[in-house]
Chain A
């Protein structure tokens, strides 16, 4: 079963607006990663934030992590039609050895031109 939950499940905005997606998880984590997926294709890695970090930026992306609330948010600023995709958060648990990601259910973002 999925550890993470993302909300909203679907988000529709106009080009130029900001998009915010949230992710919650259940266990203690080493890091949290965000991915983008276009129409059932492969996952594109966007950003990784470690458990001892609170905020991270990469271009138009801003990720926050609140380990006390077991939640993270992904903000995409000045969105473009090309940002239309599904976005997933994935956590790596402290309780697991090796590499194993647990994914959220994803947010479908639609950016209208």
Chain B
């Protein structure tokens, strides 16, 4: 069955780089897009970026200068890297297939010294 699972460090220091992994199963990354969405505690949802089935990427314009999304199709993994982290990047980070039917459980990332 289709599953997505996010993993990564729960705590990141300010100005450091966040690295998250979304491991998927039950579908092919070469046939489906994967998006990242984040949600600060108690707040709304924000689209972060996406990697499309062909491997191209798109990013939220507000985050573009700090963000990179890539994938390893052989391992069914999608990677998010965001540098120069600030406290306002504290959020739950979700990966989702096509922003539609399947979402991961989310991983909480806290930016704090």
Do A and B originate from a single complex? no
